[in-house]
Structure 1
Amino acid sequence: MVREKRTGKMYALKCLKKKHLAHSNLENEINVLRRIQHENVVGLEDFYESRTHYYLVMQLVSGGELFDRILDKGVYTEKDASMVIKQVLQAVSYLHENSIVHRDLKPENLLYYNTDENAKIMVSDFGLSKTLEHGVMSTACGTPGYVAPEVLAQRPYSKTVDCWSIGVITYILLCGYPPFFEDNETRLFSKIMRAEYAFHSPFWDDISESAKDFIRNMMHKNPTRRFLTEQALIHPWIAENTAKDVDISHSVCEQMERSFAKSKWKQAFHAASVVHHMKKLQSSLSEPLPLHPCMAPAPCLHEAEALDPNGNLVPGAGSPSCSNAESLSHSEPGSAEKSREGKDFLSETDAAFRPSKRWELFQSRTNVDIAVT
Structure 2
Amino acid sequence: MCSIVKNQYELCEEIGRGRFGTIFRCFNPTTNQVFACKIINKTLLTDSTDRNCLLNEPKYMTLLSPHPNILQIYHFSEDDDVLSIVMELCQPLTLFERILKTNGSNTLTEPQSAFIMHQLLSALAHCHTLGVAHRDIKPDNILFDSKDNLKLADFGSAEWFGEGKKMSGIVGTPYYVAPEILMGREYDEKVDVWSCGVILYIMLSGIPPFYGDDAAQIFEAVVRGNLRFPSRLFRSVSSSAKDLLRKMICRDASRRFSAEQALRHPWILSGGETAELS
**TM-score scaled to structure 1, two decimals?**
0.62
Give the structure 2 partner of residue 49 of structure 1.
Answer: 78
Give the structure 1 partner of residue 140 of structure 2.
Answer: 108
Cα distance in 2 for residues equivalent to 1:53 and 1:186: 36
After TM superposition, list the pairs within 5 Å mapping 1:324-335 onto structure 2. none
Gap change, CA 1:31 and 1:239, over 3 Å in 2: same
| Higher fraction of strand | 2
Give the letter for the 1:211 counterpart: A
**Alpha-carbon deviations, 1:5-40, whole Å to 9, x = none?**
211201101111111233241222222112112010
Cα distance in 2 for residues equivalent to 1:151 and 1:78: 29
TM-aligned CA deviation for residue 163 of structure 1: 0.4
Give the structure 1 partner of residue 60 of structure 2.
Answer: 32
Q: What's the Cα RMSD here?
A: 2.0
Query: Which deviates further from its counterpart, 64-73 or 219-228?
Result: 64-73
Q: Percent identity over the alignment?
A: 36
What runs of 5+ residues in structure 2 fail to find an aligned partner?
A: 1-24
**Alpha-carbon deviations, 1:286-335, whole Å to 9, x = none?**
xxxxxxxxxxxxxxxxxxxxxxxxxxxxxxxxxxxxxxxxxxxxxxxxxx
What runs of 5+ residues in structure 1 fail to find an aligned partner?
A: 246-373
TM-aligned CA deviation for residue 67 of structure 1: 3.2
Give the structure 2 partner of residue 84 of structure 1.
Answer: 116
TM-aligned CA deviation for residue 47 of structure 1: 1.4
2:258 is equivalent to residue 234 of structure 1: no
* Aligned residue among 14, 20, 24 for 2:38: 14
After TM superposition, list the pairs within 5 Å mapping 1:1-373 onto structure 2. 1-21=25-45, 22=47, 23-24=50-51, 25-36=53-64, 37-62=66-91, 64-72=93-101, 76-114=108-146, 116=147, 119-133=148-162, 134-183=164-213, 185-240=215-270, 243-244=273-274
Does the CA contact (< 8 Å) of 1:163 and 1:229 recur in 2?
A: yes
Give the letter for the 1:85 counterpart: M
Between the two structures, name the one with larger relative contact order (CA 8 Å, sep ≥ 6). 1
Does the CA contact (< 8 Å) of 2:110 and 2:272 recur in 1?
A: no
Gap change, CA 1:154 and 1:243, over 3 Å in 2: farther
- Select the structure of larger CA radius of gyration: 1
Cα distance in 1 for residues equivalent to 2:222 and 2:254: 17
Cα distance in 2 for residues equivalent to 1:138 and 1:111: 27
TM-aligned CA deviation for residue 95 of structure 1: 0.4
Give the structure 2 partner of residue 289 of structure 1.
Answer: none
Does the CA contact (< 8 Å) of 2:193 and 2:257 recur in 1?
A: yes
TM-aligned CA deviation for residue 219 of structure 1: 0.6
**Alpha-carbon deviations, 1:330-359, whole Å to 9, x = none?**
xxxxxxxxxxxxxxxxxxxxxxxxxxxxxx
Cα distance in 2 for residues equivalent to 1:129 and 1:219: 20
Query: Which deviates further from its counterpart, 181-190 or 12-21?
Result: 181-190
Gap change, CA 1:68 and 1:112, over 3 Å in 2: same
TM-aligned CA deviation for residue 128 of structure 1: 0.4
TM-aligned CA deviation for residue 144 of structure 1: 2.4
**TM-score scaled to structure 2, two decimals?**
0.82
Cα distance in 2 for residues equivalent to 1:8 and 1:242: 39
Does the CA contact (< 8 Å) of 2:114 and 2:268 recur in 1?
A: yes
Does the CA contact (< 8 Å) of 1:63 and 1:113 recur in 2?
A: no
Cα distance in 2 for residues equivalent to 1:235 and 1:78: 14
Cα distance in 2 for residues equivalent to 1:70 and 1:187: 24
